[in-house]
Amino acid sequence: MTNVSGNFQAPTYLAQVEQWGLQEITLHSTRHYDNPFTEVQLRGHFRSGEQEVVAEGFYDGNQTWKVRLMPQIQGRWTFDTSSNDPELTMQSGSFDVGVPGPDNHGPVTVQGQYHFAYADGTPYFPLGTTIYNWLNRDEKLELRTLATLTNSPFNKVRFLIFPKYYLYNTVEPPLYPYPLIGERTLSPDRFSGELFANSVQSVEEAFDLSRFNPAFFAHIEARLRELQTLNIEAELILFHPYDSWGFSNMGAAHDEAYLQYVVARFAAFRNVWWTLANEYDLFGRFLGDRMKEEKNWDHLFQLVQKLDPYQHLRGIHNCFDWYDHSKPWVTHVVIQHQGKELYQVTLDAKKKYSKPVIVEEYGYEGSIPFEWGNRSAGEVVNLHWEVTMAGGYGSHGET
């Protein structure tokens, strides 16, 4: 580390934000680091009256660091920073938090035992849909998706952070979450449609996992803001096994660093939910990945819980085997069930776990030759109705 200048820059931030809005403290350092992602630690300490929030900062590239806050009460707030970088530490300021806008009801939380509400008490009834890979294709698809959602009744969408390789999704994404090391070497059957096909390289050979690509995450943030404008909750799926890049098998240390970065960047968005994994039980079953057996999912769950100052909703999605949703770090039950008796399955899940139940996958509307994606429109309505009549909630999807 070297200091190339003695000039300290004052932090920049908004003079006023609304309750449950997003305050962003931007700081700069002239010091040079071999790896600013790993060498610099930054925290923001925010206070208003008796409330205090400690938020982790993150490196955003170009010698810029940021700390974000979602203020949960109105009034005067102050902040100060702590860091091992002398240009980032002991920065301070104050700002006002005003009344929320007419469509701002705060983050969604569990209400009572089986239902949901916004932070201001307004009831929230999830009516979700699935757009797994929409952020890892092309801009035209993203804009078309947003236009469709604008004219739809859906108030929640679930999607992946890492790019997806699976049937009907066999393209390279426009951005990667980590910097590439040289050229990508692809296996001969890369676009054959084989499930869980991998590249010839290991993930460490293809990507520098000690650094993140800020542009990849800024792209997600832009879409989070647009979804928020549409009053749509964003269920972020943190891990998944449909992989051709190795992001599903990075190892425990890189998994933890990834979660720390993601939570630091996204937790201040009020419309965020965390889903630890899609089909979490496929990791060990098909990938030979013993880094994510259930005891490690417990650890990753608890890490997200520890890192998130606002305690956004947390769940995990299965393929065959249900996770133990009775564990205290699970806020609501997420299940996939494509068999019969969905009404009874939903009732049983409520009784067993005493938490809200969302059937995130009961089969997709479509006409592909696979059972999981060839439900008729009438079947989808009937299945959703069964879940609703059992006092649960469902998520739509189509192929």
171 or 132: which carries more pLDDT confidence? Answer: 132
Return mean pLDDT, the chain. 92
pLDDT for 289 equals: 55
Question: How far is the C-alpha of 55 from the C-alpha of 391, rounded, in Å?
Answer: 36
Residue 22, pLDDT above cutoff 90: yes
pLDDT band (50, 70, 90) for residue 368: confident
Q: Which has the minimum average pLDDT: 140-154, 176-190, 336-350, 353-367?
A: 176-190
**To the nearest 10°, the Cα dihedral for 378, 380, 382, 386?**
180
Q: How many CA atoms lie within 13 A of 229 on its CB side?
A: 10
DSSP string, 371-382: GGG-B-HHHHHH
Do residues 144 and 150 lie in contact, with contact meaning Cβ atoms separated by under 8 Å? no
* 108-331 CATH: 3.20.20.80
State the average pLDDT over residues 6-25.
93
Residue 187, pLDDT above cutoff 60: no
Question: How far is the C-alpha of 333 from the C-alpha of 347, rounded, in Å?
Answer: 12
Q: Model pTM? A: 0.94
Residue 393, pLDDT above cutoff 70: yes
153 or 368: which carries more pLDDT confidence? Answer: 153
- The pairing of strands 108-111 and 115-118 is antiparallel
Residue 125, pLDDT above cutoff 80: yes
pLDDT band (50, 70, 90) for residue 2: very low
HEC letters along 155-203? CEEEEECCCCCECCECCCCCCCCCCECCCCCCCCCCCCCCCCCCCCCCH
100 or 371: which carries more pLDDT confidence? Answer: 100
Q: Which fold has domain 2-98?
A: Immunoglobulin-like (2.60.40)
Question: How far is the C-alpha of 226 from the C-alpha of 211, rounded, in Å?
Answer: 27
Question: How far is the C-alpha of 162 from the C-alpha of 143, rounded, in Å?
Answer: 19
Question: How far is the C-alpha of 365 from the C-alpha of 338, rounded, in Å?
Answer: 12
- Cβ partners under 8 Å of residue 25, min gap 6: 11, 12, 13, 44, 57, 66, 67, 68, 69, 79, 81, 91, 93
Domain boundaries, the chain: 2-98, 108-331
Residue 38, pLDDT above cutoff 70: yes
State the average pLDDT over residues 122-144.
96
Helix residue ranges, H only, 48-90: none
Q: Which has the minimum average pLDDT: 77-81, 188-192, 204-208, 256-260?
A: 188-192
Do residues 317 and 130 lie in contact, with contact meaning Cβ atoms separated by under 8 Å? no
Question: How far is the C-alpha of 46 from the C-alpha of 76, rounded, in Å?
Answer: 10
* CA triple 18-268-216, angle to 5 deg: 125
| pLDDT (tens digit per residue) in 282-291 | 887 665 555 5
pLDDT cut 70: percent of the chain above it: 91
Secondary structure letter of residue 256 according to DSSP: H
Q: Which has the minimum average pLDDT: 35-39, 78-82, 292-296?
A: 292-296
Residue 200, pLDDT above cutoff 60: no
Residue 369, pLDDT above cutoff 70: yes
pLDDT for 284 equals: 72
Do residues 245 and 203 lie in contact, with contact meaning Cβ atoms separated by under 8 Å? yes
Helix axes 252-266, 294-307, angle to 10 degrees: 30
Question: How far is the C-alpha of 96 from the C-alpha of 74, rounded, in Å?
Answer: 8
Question: How far is the C-alpha of 5 from the C-alpha of 90, rounded, in Å?
Answer: 18
Residue 41, pLDDT above cutoff 60: yes
As given in the structure block, the two tokens for residue 125 are 């009834």
pLDDT for 235 equals: 99
Beta bridge partners of 27: 65
DSSP string, 109-147: EEETTTEEEETTS-EE---EEE-TTGGGS-HHHHHHHHH
Looking at the chain, how many residues does it have?
Answer: 399
Do residues 64 and 26 lie in contact, with contact meaning Cβ atoms separated by under 8 Å? yes
